[in-house]
Chain A
């Protein structure tokens, strides 16, 4: 019944031009959008070192035999541990961990040397402060290697019989194992997705709610404009802004952090397009729900936090419980992280990328349908 008018490229272009001018005028936002990727890269790339070394350790010496000494030297010489003190009792050690004075307590049991030589596989206990698993993960994972290589030297000649068979020392580690060693290589490609998620959702949400808050939406609606002209016209400048961010991140990743680019840059940029659209769609949908700009920002954060937590950016994806993984699979960032890491680090091509790309497309399509449906052409 209601007469629908056609999408007009001319009106669409009028809106694009207007949005570009407004973006140019709002220098503060523009500069923030450009400096955010750089700031995050430097924070995550340099300041936040997720492979911390020289972690303070204490030792409980139950045995002073030569093999125990060798072991201690080897541990102390590795860059992961630094012995800060020797402790007399188990309780003292636990208290030191509780205070945060030491992060590890290494206990060498009584008769360690005797049992070792007998082939009785004495237990070496490393207790780790698990409050920050990411911090201790690498130190813990190296300790077994460390132990074996240190002992190999001792187990020559007369002690040669100990070098065969199972490990001569029963190493027990009391902490969670961090399965995926997070490195700079892992973080920098991931940051691209994180920065895009944050900025794209927020800028679209703000752009549309601002029109409503200032009353200019009433004016726009009183003109004969098609909703698609308004929505697409508004997001074109943001797509461009997203690509500037991608360029900045890739440039910094390559120039400053020497992250390799094993796969196709074109494929990465194409995947980024899909990802940017998905986030802009989310921003549009939020803007149809938000009553003002503050609410739009709150909603952006509401979406951003789980994205950063559950996507595998902050914590290893496989380390999360099942339900969290299921939630994570819904988020575009999860898939985009796998795409960027895959393309940049493993040199993946389209066949490997596709299984991660279509979930983002599906997400974008669903959210866009909701957004366009909710975008009202009237003020009702």
Chain B
């Protein structure tokens, strides 16, 4: 059961005219995992998710979602998958209760009324059940959307940038909820471009311009980059950063608070590059590369590949 694959697709491709939005993407996610789906805007995250839940037809590719064939059994997949769209897509002119009731009817929920009432109570919206969904704040809309796309007890949740426009406290609560649900065996694929959110995932997939650049468990992805990072503190780091960036051996020199993170895939070359600055008052420490360093590294690499 633990080794069951919730998502197992290969070579997924979607073209819109001349544009290849998703280009031969493979993705494997085990049941009960939270998979972070990362990439800048327009990289193909939404298109990929839409193909998984049958909203778009893949031009190429095959595989299974919850054990059902993604190309032929999308109607069955829809019944077991919850999809939360990037933009709030419930009905603004229906009340909270009416929205949930509609969704419950669409999925043939048994004991519909108690199920809807329970969901509303769990959300803490009992007093506002008759308020129109369009009048809710961003955070509440997001909680309503999550509750609505889970009312049919799906086994896989596809969440497309679920925390866009949500304040930090609501975001934290949201992630706590996600982890609790994952503990119960639900699988998540969560598109995001927040690094702190990516760090809360078990598994990561990084997509850029429709191509999958890295994929694996958190440690694996960082390991794949083979990046060496040094942290340095001292006076006038901005000037130091500028001088370091002039050296081709230094890939990144990024300020983090009172520190500067200096990274490169070539450890030896980096050490030679920073050797002249290994003097007082600078203090150097070798640190583990962070996710952000890794992703910027992947993006820079892909830029080089494109220009070649």
A17 beta carbon closer than 8 Å to chain B: yes
Q: Is the CB of A218 within 8 A of B75?
A: no
Closest Cβ–Cβ distance, residue B254 to chain A (whole Å): 36
Chain A residues within 8 Å of chain B by Cβ, number: 29
Task: Tell me which residues from 59 to 100 in chain B have a Cβ below 8 Å from any Cβ of chain A.
Answer: 72-76, 78-79, 81, 83, 85, 87-94, 98
A218 to B160, CA, bound (A): 12
A99 beta carbon closer than 8 Å to chain B: no
In the bound complex, residues from chain B placing their C-beta under 8 Å from that of A13 are 105
Q: Is the CB of B89 within 8 A of A218?
A: yes
Q: Is the CB of B108 within 8 A of A10?
A: yes
Closest Cβ–Cβ distance, residue B97 to chain A (whole Å): 11
B189 beta carbon closer than 8 Å to chain A: no
Q: Is the CB of A379 within 8 A of B55?
A: yes
A224 beta carbon closer than 8 Å to chain B: yes
Which one of A14, A218, A380 lies within 8 Å of B85 (CB-CB)?
A218
In the bound complex, residues from chain B placing their C-beta under 8 Å from that of A380 are 56-57
In the bound complex, residues from chain B placing their C-beta under 8 Å from that of A214 are 89, 92
A153 to B54, CA, bound (A): 87
Q: Is the CB of A223 within 8 A of B89?
A: no
In the bound complex, residues from chain A placing their C-beta under 8 Å from that of B89 are 214-216, 218-219
A117 to B141, CA, bound (A): 94
Which one of B57, B87, B88, B106 lies within 8 Å of A223 (CB-CB)?
B106
With A10-B108, A224-B107 in contact, do A379 and B56 touch (Cβ < 8 Å)? yes
A132 beta carbon closer than 8 Å to chain B: no
Q: Is the CB of B55 within 8 A of A3?
A: no
B53 beta carbon closer than 8 Å to chain A: yes
Q: Is the CB of B105 within 8 A of A224?
A: no
A5 to B108, CA, bound (A): 14
B240 beta carbon closer than 8 Å to chain A: no
B202 beta carbon closer than 8 Å to chain A: no
Closest Cβ–Cβ distance, residue A65 to chain B (whole Å): 78
In the bound complex, residues from chain B placing their C-beta under 8 Å from that of A53 are none
A118 beta carbon closer than 8 Å to chain B: no
A26 to B94, CA, bound (A): 11
A5 to B93, CA, bound (A): 29
Interface of B is mostly: loop
In the bound complex, residues from chain B placing their C-beta under 8 Å from that of A223 are 78, 103, 106-107
With A11-B105, A11-B106, A14-B102 in contact, do A222 and B53 touch (Cβ < 8 Å)? yes
A2 beta carbon closer than 8 Å to chain B: yes
In the bound complex, residues from chain B placing their C-beta under 8 Å from that of A318 are none
B171 beta carbon closer than 8 Å to chain A: no
Q: Is the CB of A18 within 8 A of B53?
A: no
In the bound complex, residues from chain A placing their C-beta under 8 Å from that of B117 are none
Q: Is the CB of A224 within 8 A of B79?
A: yes
Contact flags A354-380 to B (C-beta < 8 A → 1, else 0): 000000000000000000000000111
A274 beta carbon closer than 8 Å to chain B: no
A10 to B102, CA, bound (A): 11
Q: Is the CB of A378 within 8 A of B105?
A: no
Closest Cβ–Cβ distance, residue A48 to chain B (whole Å): 37
B50 beta carbon closer than 8 Å to chain A: yes
Q: Is the CB of A14 within 8 A of B54?
A: no
Q: Is the CB of B93 within 8 A of A26?
A: yes
A262 beta carbon closer than 8 Å to chain B: no
In the bound complex, residues from chain A placing their C-beta under 8 Å from that of B75 are 3-5, 224
In the bound complex, residues from chain A placing their C-beta under 8 Å from that of B57 are 378, 380
Closest Cβ–Cβ distance, residue A230 to chain B (whole Å): 10
In the bound complex, residues from chain A placing their C-beta under 8 Å from that of B74 are 2
In the bound complex, residues from chain B placing their C-beta under 8 Å from that of A18 are 91, 94, 98, 102
Task: Tell me which residues from 94 to 134 in chain B have a Cβ below 8 Å from any Cβ of chain A.
Answer: 94, 98, 102-103, 105-108, 132
In the bound complex, residues from chain A placing their C-beta under 8 Å from that of B83 are 219, 222
A380 to B72, CA, bound (A): 16
- Can you report 14 residue pairs joining A to B where beta carbons are below 8 Å apart? A3-B75, A11-B108, A18-B102, A21-B94, A22-B91, A25-B94, A25-B132, A215-B87, A216-B90, A219-B83, A223-B103, A224-B106, A378-B56, A380-B57
Chain B residues close to A by CB (< 8 Å): 50, 53-57, 72-76, 78-79, 81, 83, 85, 87-94, 98, 102-103, 105-108, 132
- Excluding A8-B108, A222-B81, 14 further A-B contacts by CB distance (< 8 Å) are A1-B72, A2-B72, A3-B75, A13-B105, A14-B102, A18-B94, A21-B93, A215-B87, A215-B88, A216-B91, A223-B103, A224-B106, A378-B54, A378-B57
The 10 closest A-B pairs by CB, nearest first: A14-B105, A219-B89, A222-B83, A25-B93, A215-B89, A224-B78, A223-B106, A215-B87, A5-B75, A18-B102
